[in-house]
A and B are shown apart, each in its own frame.
Chain A
Amino acid sequence: MAKSFKEALESGKFVITAEVGPPKGVDIEEMKHHIELLKDKVDGLNVTDNQSSVMRISTLPVCRLIQEAGGEPILQMTCRDKNRIALQAELLGAYILGIKNVLCLTGDYVTVGDHVDAKPVFDLDSVLLLKAISGLEQGKDFAGNELKGSPAFCKGAIVTPEANPIEPQLIKFEKKIKAGAEFIQTQAIYDLDNFKKFMKYARKFDVKIMAGIVLLVSAGMARYMNANVPGIFVPKDLIDEMAGAEKGKALEKGIEIAGRMIKTLKDEKICDGVHIMAIGKEGKVPDILAAAGLI
């Protein structure tokens, strides 16, 4: 993509990002294939940071690969594995490589992943990480020391519009904006009415909102997420629609639903863009974009 992610955000166009999950191990052929497939179809590619606390290739080198391939990487950074020294050092390192988009997350707890005995760090939280980045941009590290040359990032964070209770989530959302967040990706949303309510509130703030779109692959997946994934709610009519798909066509139905949702979000100008998470089905992102009429 010719434009940087920041330029895309500021242009006012409906922004589209997707996700690249680094593999566990050094065989990166499949990941490279996904990068190649997606890089020119989206405005940014998020690289997950040891997603779900499962140890994998780290984010920064994968961001670099995306950049070398001509794509626009978004570095995901969690507070789980690094203290404030390591986080800042990584940010400076990212900047000198030309990686300027950062998405700040708290990170899942270590016990949900595959190294349950690891020491959880959480020295900073997502709000404080944003604040640390804003500080670096102003030429000071988190302890107030002068930097020799300061970076400039496009900073993002997360919100969960379906969180229950929602109020503490919104207080934190406002803190993230105060700390410098320029864009906010949401946790997966399926209930557009509830999302519209959230957007009515979010529009009061000077921040770009990108709706999280997680590709449904079966009715069972939707039910599983409702029961087990915090902050995700798939309404019954969508579960029924998935369940009613012809045998062997559930994935296509999921693509159709995702495409339809994206089209509605864009056409009705509900939010500023979408972040597509096709967990394990990254190859299907172009089909989702086609279903949304975007390519």
Chain B
Amino acid sequence: MIVADRKPFDDIKAMLEGFEKILIVGCGECVSVCMVGGEKEVEILASQLRMAAGKEGKKIEIGEITLERQCDREYLELLKDRINNYDVVVSMACGAGVQFLAEMYDHKIVLPATNTRFIGVTEGEGVWAERCRACSDCVLAETGGICPVTICAKGLLNGPCGGTNDGKCEVDKNKDCAWTLIYNRLDKLGRLDSIREIFPAKRYSVQTRPGRRIHEAFKEKE
């Protein structure tokens, strides 16, 4: 899933300076799971804004809605009737959701309430960790299911750098060295041969940015 952080309240408050009618739009997918932009978090942000406005004697009107998700037009369409009652929309989705919302309602000011961080997994309660850089050229078959592009700070494809120390990374002593993990996993699987050959350089040409994919069955329609 996509993992995000909520922006600090002061940043959100500063972005909204001068706006009186604010619609906060949550997203029921990833950001809801990582407790940043779901229904509950929409409620919290709305309360914070109301309290801050109350303290300063300002009059604001806040609308709250949480969509199934913000990365599909059919859900964003549900805002159609409501959105014009507001001066500004605050999206609590990931960056993709914020942009899709802004694209669909391009006459509205749409502001982000989150900082999108990474594609990751739930390691434990309240703990998420990055696992994929979406590089479009997956190497996991050779590296024992551990991604050096993501887990190695330098994204090295041919083994550890000189900064590896007792299985940890030079960038952060609390982080594992990807290449120690890869070595240990492949050793356990009896597949060390898969990293003995020189791994070719990453093909950045396959990472067309921005990425776009059309399903075969829909190519004609496009």
Contacts and interface: CB of A to CB of B under 8 A. Distances in A.
A91 to B, nearest CB: 15
B208 to A, nearest CB: 17
A187 B164 CA distance: 12
Contact of B162 (A80, A123, A160): A160
B119 to A, nearest CB: 19
Nearest to B198: A175
Contacts of B171: 109, 111-112
Contact of A172 (B160, B165, B180, B202): B160
Contacts of A131: 198
A128 B158 contact: yes
A105 B179 CA distance: 17
Interface stretch (B6-14, B63-71, B126-134, B148-156): B148-156
A174 B197 CA distance: 9
B196 A127 contact: no
A2 interface: no
Contact of A124 (B183, B187, B201): B201
Contacts of B184: 165
A164 B165 contact: yes
A220 interface: no
Contacts of B197: 175
A163 interface: yes
A284 B200 CA distance: 42
Interface string B155-193: 111111111111100110000000110111001000010
B159 A169 contact: yes
B33 interface: no
A108 interface: yes
A158 interface: yes
B180 A168 contact: yes
B195 interface: yes
Contacts of A167: 183, 187
B159 A109 contact: no
Contacts, number: 98
A135 to B, nearest CB: 11
Contacts of B187: 167
A164 B180 CA distance: 9
B180 A122 contact: no
Given A84-B201, A165-B180, A178-B198, A171 B155 contact: no
A230 interface: yes
A168 B155 CA distance: 16
Contacts of B180: 165, 168
Nearest to A105: B162
A108 B170 contact: yes
B183 A165 contact: yes
Interface in A69-119: 79-80, 84, 105-109, 111-112
A106 B201 contact: no
A211 B196 CA distance: 25
A5 to B, nearest CB: 22
A171 B165 contact: no
Contacts of B163: 106, 108-109, 230
A231 B162 contact: yes
Contact of A164 (B167, B182, B201, B204): B167
A163 B195 CA distance: 18
B198 A106 contact: no
A111 B172 CA distance: 10
Interface in B67-90: none
A168 B156 contact: no
A124 B154 CA distance: 10
Given A108-B170, A164-B167, A230-B170, A175 B159 contact: yes
B162 A127 contact: no
B162 A109 contact: no
Given A84-B201, A131-B198, A109 B165 contact: no
A120 interface: yes
B162 A125 contact: no
14 contacts: A109-B170, A112-B171, A122-B155, A124-B201, A125-B158, A125-B161, A127-B198, A131-B198, A142-B201, A163-B162, A168-B159, A171-B159, A171-B195, A187-B162
Interface of A: 79-80, 84, 105-109, 111-112, 120, 122-128, 131, 142, 158, 160, 163-165, 167-169, 171-172, 174-175, 178-179, 187, 230-231
Given A125-B154, A171-B196, A175-B159, 20 more contacts: A106-B156, A112-B170, A120-B154, A124-B201, A125-B156, A125-B157, A125-B158, A126-B158, A142-B201, A163-B160, A163-B164, A164-B165, A168-B160, A169-B160, A169-B164, A171-B159, A172-B159, A175-B197, A230-B162, A230-B163
